[in-house]
Structures are given as structure tokens and as C-alpha cells.
Amino acid sequence: MEKIMFSILIPVYNVEKYLNKCLDSVINQTYNNFELIIVNDGSTDSSLEICRTYAKNDNRIRVYDQPNKGLLLTRRNSIKKAMGDYILFLDSDDYWELNLLETVYDEINKYNVDMLLFRYKRVDDNGQILKNDTGVFKDKTIFTSENKEILFKKLISTSRINSIWSKVVKRSIIDIEHDYTIYQDKKGEDILQSLPLIFNAKKIIYLDEPLYNYRLSHSGRGRNFKPKYFNDFDIVRNVVFEYMTKFQYDNEENLKLFYSYYVLNIIQFAKALTKLKINNEEMLEIFDEVRMKKLFKSSKEYLSTYSYSIEDKICCFLFNKKYYKTLSQFVQLKVNFKSLLISKK
């Protein structure tokens, strides 16, 4: 079998602090048949200069520069430039284990799959492990049309396999020409791109090995909640619902899983929103907007089937009864209580 050529896609935006670690983790891979495509998305720091320096010293690297378009459209632009057999995605503030390509090559070569999923570790700014993600499936579980529903159940009920950077994808199954412009600047772009890949893949393998280091800094990703996030989430979940129907997985069991996860996210959104310093009138307006969503209305049919924590059940009850002020007071009480416990330690 001819040696597999990998295309590694890295979107770059103002990451001069982390970029060397990211790029070194690629060029020092134990498997070297790859191309590295870097698209600088309008960085205003020294990121572009760093990338061009690496490209001068390694002919496997191609660097492109563009005005800022955001992560989603930058990734789509990168895909169109790729020429490899398989594509991998790497965020520019993260980094790989040095055996990642060799490991996935061995499994793809052995099982001839269209897609491979692997585990990751959460690390801090210094590379110290914060959390080693536990496995989702047994090592080397293979999914085909006969059992892909098992994989989809995880997709509709958790966020464990959403990330595009935890997947190796055969280039021929990627929806290269699909227009994602309407989803620009929407939170949840990873799952939007993952859904058609899972749909198109005839054979998928899960590798229970942490090969990716996801950097979670104190001031970086996942730290800044915005009220618009629920609208983004609702848009994404509507697309997930469409694919559930497309797969013909919209049976009663999966609908319960889908709506349970949807409501859980409403609860988390409501709790996060009450912690923001916004006036009550604005908060009530946002909550009422949530209640008007089609998926929220449909979720009520399944409320009695959900199994949540006592705290979440109380929040759900208060939200459904429109006791928004009481909900806010309850959440704040919980926050104050936790702060008191921490201060006494």
C-alpha cells in the first residue's frame, strides 16, 4: 500500500505565545509524509512572521494570509487547499503528541477507515495536565452503517465527540463545496462540520488514546460566556435534529436523549445568564426568547423522562414556571454558598 499523505490544517489568529509549541509538535512527528497548511486569519501580532519563518526552513509547510474571517471560514478555506489523502485539524494554541501521525497511520493502514477519532488531554498554559479525557468507547471500536447509531447517540446527548480536531478524515468524504457562510461566528462550528463527515463515512474507528493536547488557559477559550450562545446552540441543535432524521435515527429513545441534552443546556444557559451583570428586563427578554424556540416547545413532551441533579431539577422547574427572579436568586444563593465553603478551607 502506498504511504498515506496527510494534510494538516492550522488556522492562526494572534497566538504568538503558543505558536512555536504547536508547530514544533507537527514538524517533529515520527511520521513525516505530510503537508502543513497554515492560514493566518488577519493576526495583528507576530504570528504570521513566525509561520513564515517555519515555512522557509521546511518545504512541507505552506503559509497563506487572509483578512480576518473567523475560525469556521478559515478552516473551510484551508480544506480547499489540501491535497493529502486524509485531513487533520489542529488549533494553533494546542499541540500534538509526537507520535500522533504514526499512530493514526498504523490504524488507518490496518483497518482502511474513512474516519478515525482519538482522545485528548486538557492542559494549562504550561502544558500541565488539567484533565485526561476518559474514553467514550472501547479502544478500536469500529462503526459502520450497522452500528453507527451508537456513535450518533453520543453526538446527540453529549459534547464528547463534537471537536473537529479529534478526527482524522478521508479527504474524499468532505463536503468541500458546501457553503458554511450562514454559520459564520456561530459557536458550535465543530459539530456543524462533523455531522456530514459522520454521515458520509462508511467506516469509522475510535482510538482510545490521548494524542491531542487541548490548551485551556485562564483567560482563553471557554471562559467568556455571552448571551448569544444559546441562540447559536439552538441553531446547531436544529441541524443535529435534521441529521437525526436524515439518518432515520429519530426513534423515541433517541428523541428522549436529544431533548434531554437540549433542556440540560437550557438550564446551564439560564444559570450562566443569571450570573451576568445585566438588568432584569434584558434577562427576562432573553428567557422569553428561549421559550419561543421550536425545540424548547417540543422538549416539554419529554420533561418527565429526564434524570437531572436536584439543583438542575429546581432550576428547570423555576424556568418552566417563569419564576425567573426566583431562579436568579436561587443560582446566586448557590454561588455564594460555594464561595463560603471555599473561603473556609
Instruction: Tell me which DSSP letter residue 188 carries.
Output: T
Instruction: Please report, as a single letter, which amino acid is at residue 25.
Output: S
Q: Cβ contacts of residue 232 below 8 Å, gap of 6+? A: 186, 187, 188
Give the DSSP H or E segment for 153.
Answer: helix 148-157
Q: Is the pLDDT of residue 221 over 60?
A: no
Q: Are 61 and 38 in contact (CB under 8 A)?
A: yes
Q: Is the pLDDT of residue 220 over 70?
A: no
- In order of their start, the domains of the chain are 6-215 (3.90.550.10), 229-344 (no CATH)
Q: What is the mean predicted confidence (pLDDT) over 240-267?
A: 94
Q: Is the pLDDT of residue 340 over 70?
A: no
Q: What is the per-residue pLDDT for 134? A: 84
Q: Are 40 and 51 in contact (CB under 8 A)?
A: yes
Could you tell me the three cell numbers for 226?
Answer: 455571552
Could you tell me the three cell numbers for 186?
Answer: 456561530
Residue 202 vs residues 168, 246, 302: alpha-carbon distances, Å: 14, 15, 32
| pLDDT (tens digit per residue) in 81-112 | 999 999 999 999 999 999 999 999 999 999 99
Instruction: Round to whole Å and give the CA distance between 229 and 174.
Output: 27
Q: Are 237 and 155 in contact (CB under 8 A)?
A: no
Instruction: Round to whole Å and give the CA distance between 310 and 208.
Output: 33
Of the candidates 277, 160, 181, which has an alpha carbon nearest to the alpha carbon of residue 227? 277
Could you tell me the three cell numbers for 152?
Answer: 450518533
- Report the 10 Å Cβ neighbour count for 310: 7
Q: Collapsing DSSP states into helix, strand and coil, what is residue 34? A: strand
Instruction: Please report, as a single letter, which amino acid is at residue 112.
Output: N
Q: What is the per-residue pLDDT for 343? A: 64
Q: How many helices (H) and strands (E) does the chain have?
A: 12, 10
Can you say how many angstroms the Cα of residue 131 is from the centroid of all Cα atoms in its chain? 16
Q: What is the per-residue pLDDT for 302? A: 81
Lowest mean pLDDT among 21-30, 205-214, 328-337: 328-337
- Angle at the Cα of 165 from the Cα atoms of 159 and 166, rounded to 5 degrees: 65
The answer to whether the Cα torsion of 318, 319, 322, 323 is positive or negative is positive
What's this model's pTM, rounded to 2 decimal places? 0.91
% pLDDT > 70, the chain: 95
Instruction: Tell me which DSSP letter residue 223 carries.
Output: -
Q: Are 34 and 5 in contact (CB under 8 A)?
A: yes
Q: What is the mean predicted confidence (pLDDT) over 156-167?
A: 94
Q: What is the per-residue pLDDT for 308? A: 81
Q: Collapsing DSSP states into helix, strand and coil, what is residue 157? A: helix
pLDDT, averaged across the chain: 91
- Report the 10 Å Cβ neighbour count for 93: 21
Backbone angles phi, psi at 264, to 5 degrees: -60, -40
As a residue count, the chain comes to 345
Q: What is the per-residue pLDDT for 276? A: 80
